[in-house]
Amino acid sequence: SNKENAENLIAVDPGANFTITQEEIETILPILSKCNILLVQLENNLNAVEYLISQSYKQGIKIILNPAPYQKISSEMISKVNIITPNEIEAELMTGIKITTIDDAYNASQILHKQGVENVIITLGNKGAYLSSTDGQFHIPPYPAIPVDTTGAGDAFNGALLAELSHGVKLIDACLFANAYASCAVEQKGTAFAMPVRKIVVEKMKTYSVQPIRF
């Protein structure tokens, strides 16, 4: 991370991540059939991700796609996704809209909806997150945080979102929790070791009354 502003700077060497085969994916399909939600990122070769999404879609599994690190993906692939969670840069690369305001996030979300995705969550860094869903449009304000290292903030948000949804929490409430979770994660240095335990997040949510703003 940048010591002056805590912003992240990541270099990726994909190595074996880009050599996943269809046969390897088929070995996990029996496990997949027992799942109700799948979270996928783009840190693997695209044909492997597409195959996993198509197989999950056939089984009626809800799919969350975090399009990071960014790779160009087809509208056909996007249309099989229930929730897509780009950050501001990824949303701009996917839609051509530079996101500096909530209006920009709204406009970008509408383009993604037209490609067939039901729910769009655009993470906005220190501005919180934007949710465009079947229940409406919402700005989810940020929780207060003193950032030390923002590396892994997106992973924190997506992991927390998945965990909440897997327990039957409504999407808007899952977004609120994920926002709080990410705000706790950035207050620690590192990635995996910076992920907070649930108790810390719940305490922060009790301390600060952050509510979604219908847009």
The catalytic site residues sit at 155
Cis bond upstream, residue 69 (ω within 30): yes
Contacts of 15 (CB under 8 A, 6+ apart): none
Do 43 and 20 form a contact (C-beta atoms < 8 A)?
no
DSSP 9-44: ------GGGGG--HHHHHTTHHHHTT-SEEEEESSS
What is d(CA 124, CA 92) in angstroms, rounded to the nearest whole number? 12
